[in-house]
Amino acid sequence: MRTDKLFLVGFMAAGKSTVAKALGARIDWRVEDVDARIEAREHSTVADIFERRGETHFRTTERAVLRELLPLRHTVVATGGGTFADPVNRQIINADGASVWLDVAFETVVARIPPDGRRPLAADRATLEGLYRTRRSAYRHAHLRLDADRAPAGELVERILEWLGE
């Protein structure tokens, strides 16, 4: 195996958390979810953190959580949609393990995001589309890109394992 830690990156609703769980179960590695850790640490949902404390506070907490994960090995990490877009986070991730970009089309993102307000950056479609285009340039720095549009989690797991030499 090429690495002892994998970071799943990509836009919101790309399937990072789902694939992380499936991959972790398959190779018997710990699974961590950056957004879930932030919510536990802040005792609040991502949407509430954005609303009450703002995106700057969220991103500061996100970086702190990412740093907390550094000592862990044999771990699959599901990042938030914006985690890898930050150049410092991207450097931390790519130095600590292998990054895998789950790439999905914008229309897939729109179809997968529930209109319940849990995704604060998805409230306005034009803003969401601009964010999607901007973040794609960051995701291109991942070690591996997978077309995750129509592939089920199990198939993506197999592709990752193949790339890792398993």
pLDDT at 106: 94
Return the half-sphere exposure (C-beta side, CA atoms, 13 A cut-off) of residue 84.
34
3-class SS letters over 102-166: EECCHHHHHHHCCCCCCCHHHCCHHHHHHHHHHHHHHHCCCCEEEECCCCCHHHHHHHHHHHHCC
For 83-86, which contacts have Cβ atoms below 8 Å and span 24 or more sequence positions? Answer: 83/9, 83/34, 84/7, 84/9, 84/10, 84/135, 84/138, 84/139, 84/141, 84/142, 85/134, 85/135, 85/138, 85/139, 86/59, 86/62, 86/138
Q: Could you please state the CATH topology (level 3) that the domain comprising 5-164 is classified under.
A: Rossmann fold (3.40.50)
Phi-psi region at 119: left, alpha or beta (left = phi > 0; alpha = psi -120 to 50): beta
User: Residue 145 forms beta bridges with which residues?
Assistant: 101
Domain boundaries, the chain: 5-164
pLDDT in tens, the chain (166 residues): 689 999 999 998 999 999 999 999 999 999 999 999 999 999 999 989 988 999 999 999 999 999 999 999 999 999 999 999 999 999 999 999 999 999 999 999 988 887 665 666 666 778 889 999 999 999 999 999 999 998 999 999 999 999 999 7
CA 157 to chain CA centroid, nearest Å: 15
pLDDT at 47: 86
